[in-house]
Amino acid sequence: MTLVVDLGQSGSRARIDGKQIDSDRGKLNGESVVDSLRAVFLNLPKGQIDIAALACTGFNGVVSDPQPFLELCDEFFGAKKVAVIDDGLAGFVGALGGSNGVVLSIGGGVVSVGGNNSHFAHRDGLGSTFGDEGGGFWLGKLGLTRALGIRQGRGDDQVLLSAFKDQVSAFDALKVKNAAEASTLAITSAKNLLAAADAGSPTAIAIRNEGAELLAQTVIATWLGAGGSLDDAPEIAIQGGPSKNPAYVSAIQSNISRSLAHAKFVAARGDNLDGALWIANNMLSDADPLLRWASKSA
């Protein structure tokens, strides 16, 4: 039996024997990936598994030593093997099913993975402090920052302030304004920023447009990093929470098309869980730096 996990910043999902379990518990800011998984595992049903396929945020494109993950999965489930996978690779495999192209995954953060005839490239995934441009944290932080400023009289965009009414109240209630709870608030505020842009807020529209341009640059850099050229016609899938906003996706695609004129925009064929399961069954050796295996000694 195989356990498949998709650990993100805004939550996690697990699949055991075909049954999916969703949780709001994701990777907290500053928390190690192993500690995040331990917290997730505490709420999963216990049982014997053979293989664990763990697609995780937080690696920044370089999967760490898989041995602690094997020990954790052995402790909870008696696992004999573990595949530790950068979430971008899992998303790429799940979405494109082996086709050449780029998968842009936008959650609380941003990760973009491209594949071109088995040559892979990974871009962004640098974390919220210095990267993840255009992702949920980035959108929500900028939106809430501007809303708080407008409340103080620094600017006048009442559409934005109205859209962030509940988020401003949540900010006021925070005992510590720069801890993990604040980061979570920023991520969950992304939907308010995009809704404000849809409602005509000039501040939100400017933030949305900047995010779309930055994400397009990330996609293009990913394809070129995988050995592609601007004359190619790669498949490009955009997935994740903020991608549920049609205007944001349209803006990202328009920016991509300015440089990659022949890009083919496709719907994702599967998700990170599908990709992680496929990897567990078919990519049985390391693919550094995005996939590393560990196994129990006989």
Residue with tokens 């049954």: 19
Tell whether domain 2-90+271-295 is in CATH 3.30.420: yes
CB 69 within 8 A of CB 20: no
List the structure tokens of 170: 């949540």
List the structure tokens of 223: 């394809």
Same CATH topology for 2-90+271-295 and 98-268: the answer is yes
Identify the helix (H) or strand (E) that includes residue 291: strand 291-295
Give me the residue spans of the domains in the chain.
Answer: 2-90+271-295, 98-268
- pTM score: 0.81
Residue 41 sits at the vertex; the CA angle it makes with 175 and 272, to the nearest 5 degrees, is 95
Tens place of pLDDT per residue across the chain (298 aa): 899 999 987 789 999 988 899 999 999 878 999 999 999 999 998 889 999 999 998 887 889 999 999 999 999 999 999 999 998 889 899 999 878 999 998 988 898 999 998 788 999 988 888 999 999 999 999 999 999 999 999 999 999 999 999 999 999 999 999 888 899 899 999 999 999 999 999 999 999 999 999 999 999 999 999 999 999 999 999 998 899 999 999 999 999 999 999 999 999 999 899 999 999 999 899 888 889 999 987 5
Q: Please name which of 58, 23, 59, 29 lies closest in space to residue 43, comparing C-alpha atoms.
A: 23
Q: Please name which of 27, 82, 104 lies closest in space to residue 294, comparing C-alpha atoms.
A: 82
Those residues whose C-beta lies under 8 Å from the C-beta of residue 103, and which sit 6 or more positions away, are: 88, 91, 92, 95, 96, 112, 113, 114, 236, 237, 238, 239, 268
List the structure tokens of 11: 């939550």
Return the CATH superfamily for domain 98-268: ATPase, nucleotide binding domain (3.30.420.40)
Read off the DSSP letter of residue 287: B
Residue 239 sits at the vertex; the CA angle it makes with 236 and 243, to the nearest 5 degrees, is 110
The Cβ-side half-sphere exposure at 64, using a 13 Å CA radius, reads 12
Identify the helix (H) or strand (E) that includes residue 106: strand 101-106
